[in-house]
Structure 1
Amino acid sequence: MQEAISHLVTLAQALGKPQDHHALPAPFALVPQGVKVQDLEGMLRAPTRIRQAVTVLDADTFIAYVNRFASTASVVFCDGPEGRTFRAVLDYHQPEQPSWGQHVAVYQCPISIEWGRWKSSDRKRMDQATFAEFFEENIKDITAPEGIPDAPSAADMLEISRTLEAKKNISFRQGTRLDNGQVQLTYNEQIDGQAGETGQLRIPEQFYIGVKPFLGGDAFCVAVRFRYRIQEARLAMWFELVRPDKVLEEAYTTVRAKIQGSIGEVPMYEASI
């Protein structure tokens, strides 16, 4: 009886003994219950490969992470100004050797608070008090670039927003054709505005802001049109960002060039996965 028990124990130990196989990345064992293959990688001192998805918050961190883990198999994908996402797959496929692609770092250029404020209020008509309050809260973003002598200063724009007075002049001109009695009516509307305590400030057609479209990115000088109208006897004021899509495109291109110039020979593809 004891001999039979010893024989069964020996068979069980043989079935559960870990085996190495060149086709599998980790050791395995045949488990007697159901005779299934049991992965034993969790019992090793370290995993057999990196499985990690990292989301970074700025371009410098993305560059540092890629440079730390990059190999000849690493690639970076970027999906253009609309997606603004850079994805590094550090264990990507090679022409003659497929890989798992499970070690990934992602950087999606985050919109800055400053750019978000200006963009959310772009072309939004406001009463004078609301408009002046917006300018007061964001006055640090207004700039007067060198080389543009007529660019209004931040102080000028704040005073204009507070003191602008406008009046509407409407004139009609009527003409009658004698041959058929047709009446021609011409309508002309003119809005005149002045600003400053004594009306000494020139009201500009546009001003400029210096903001970073992406958090932690470079700052750009953006032209902004200044607009005002009289609607139902009330003054409406607003601003219009000049080609904000081009601003984001230029900001993205700048980030792309920075990353590509800092990750050595790691290839970069305009694509998304």
Structure 2
Amino acid sequence: MLKDFQGERDVAAILAAGTTLAGAQKSPLADGVPFVVVPEGYKVEHVFERDESPARAIGLVKLRDVNSFVNYFNRQKRPESLIYASLDPAKILGVIDDHRAYGTEFTNEDGANWRQFRVEFAVPASREWKVWTGKDRKALNQLEFAELIEDNLPDIVTPDGSTMLSVALNFEASKEGNFVSAARLQDGSTNFVWKEDVNATGNKIAMPSQITLEIPVFENGQPSPVEARIKYRVKDGALTIWYELVRPHKVLEAAFRSIWSQIEEQTQTTILLGSPE
């Protein structure tokens, strides 16, 4: 009987120990995440739904403009926080819990940090930039080119709006005719000659060799001047016309650098070119 009683006590002790382990245990690690030991295979499981607040901040915050990024980063930043920038695609990324500097206050550590609390500003292109870069170097007929000019007339600053509107209307009027020639003038512009029939008097459309746009590269950004060269081809009575933006990548880079400088100044944080992995 004594032996059976001792066996019962041993079983009770084992069950009590198991019950103790089944409760959430406080982790001795720096992040303080509680855990439980599950009987099947004695696997350690972390418990994230627990106290009033998490042991550390994690997550990715996605913002849509410079001011929102600056306000959020300044609210959360720490001495170790860093900002990274990449141009293709245009993006600003703040890592709030980045690695700490080695050899400062952490004498027994290498400064490693979680790098899991981030704020991102994927800089969106403006509607105007999408329109003009989307049609860049794409051949259009005269009606398609006329519609492009009419729909985006406020973006063209040279020649003036009335001149470009006249060009667009003349192109629309030529839809039933045939283009018979194109002559470059001394001022660099081109006269396109078209006829409604073989016996009709030729009509002329003067087209500048180059136009200047003034459009924002990014949403809510300041307008930037962009040059566009006009190209054309007349074949079998049909006109094909297109434009080629002049070094648009440099315009994009300059606009991005402006955003870069604004964020550096307002966050008092030097931005690094690249991205954390």
On whether the aligned pair clears a TM of 0.5, the verdict is: yes
Using the size of structure 2 for normalisation, the TM-score is: 0.75
| Greater mean alpha carbon deviation, residues 129-138 or residues 216-225 | 216-225
Match in the other structure for 2:262: 258
* Percentage of matched positions with identical amino acids: 27
Q: Does the 8 Å CA contact 2:192/2:205 hold for their aligned counterparts? A: no
| Greater mean alpha carbon deviation, residues 208-217 or residues 7-16 | 7-16
Q: Does the 8 Å CA contact 1:205/1:227 hold for their aligned counterparts? A: yes
Shift of 1:220: 0.6
Q: 1:121 to 1:20 in 2, by over 3 A?
A: closer
Structure 1 distance, partners of 2:257, 2:136, is: 23
Match in the other structure for 1:162: 169
Q: 1:13 to 1:256 in 2, by over 3 A?
A: same
Q: 1:194 to 1:222 in 2, by over 3 A?
A: farther
Of 91, 96, 109, 1:90 maps to 96
Q: 1:42 to 1:204 in 2, by over 3 A?
A: same
Of 209, 213, 217, 1:209 maps to 213
Structure 2 gap ranges (5+): 103-109, 184-189, 195-202
Structure 1 gap ranges (5+): 144-150, 171-190
Letter in 2 for 1:244: P
Match in the other structure for 2:198: none
- Please state whether the residue corresponding to 1:247 is helix, strand or coil: helix
Of 13, 20, 27, 1:14 maps to 20
Structure 1 distance, partners of 2:155, 2:218, is: 14
Q: Does 1:227 align with 2:231?
A: yes
Of 256, 267, 270, 1:267 maps to 270
Match in the other structure for 2:130: 116
Letter in 2 for 1:45: E
Could you give the per-residue CA deviations for residues 179-234 of structure 1, whole angstroms, max 9, x where no partner exists? xxxxxxxxxxxx74479xxx898642222111111122221111222333322222
Match in the other structure for 1:100: 114
Match in the other structure for 1:237: 241
Shift of 1:169: 7.7
Q: 1:227 to 1:15 in 2, by over 3 A?
A: closer
- Please state whether the residue corresponding to 2:254 is helix, strand or coil: helix
Q: Does the 8 Å CA contact 1:128/1:162 hold for their aligned counterparts? A: no
Using the size of structure 1 for normalisation, the TM-score is: 0.76
Q: 1:157 to 1:37 in 2, by over 3 A?
A: same
Structure 1 distance, partners of 2:143, 2:24, is: 77
Give runs of aligned pairs for residues 111-190 of structure 1, distance below 5 A.
111-143=125-157, 151-163=158-170, 167-168=180-181
| Greater mean alpha carbon deviation, residues 155-164 or residues 84-93 | 155-164
Match in the other structure for 2:200: none
Of 50, 54, 63, 1:47 maps to 54
Structure 1 distance, partners of 2:182, 2:238, is: 14
Q: Between Structure 1 and Structure 2, how many residues are aligned? A: 242
Q: 1:156 to 1:169 in 2, by over 3 A?
A: closer
- Please state whether the residue corresponding to 1:261 is helix, strand or coil: helix
Could you give the per-residue CA deviations for residues 113-151 of structure 1, whole angstroms, max 9, x where no partner exists? 1111111111222221111111111112112xxxxxxx4
Q: Does the 8 Å CA contact 2:37/2:43 hold for their aligned counterparts? A: yes
Letter in 2 for 1:98: A
Q: Does the 8 Å CA contact 1:227/1:238 hold for their aligned counterparts? A: yes
Structure 1 distance, partners of 2:163, 2:116, is: 55
Structure 2 distance, partners of 1:125, 1:29, is: 66
Letter in 1 for 2:90: R
Q: Does the 8 Å CA contact 1:76/1:89 hold for their aligned counterparts? A: yes
Choose between structure 1 and 2 for higher RCO, CA contacts under 8 A separated by at least 6 residues: 1
Match in the other structure for 2:187: none
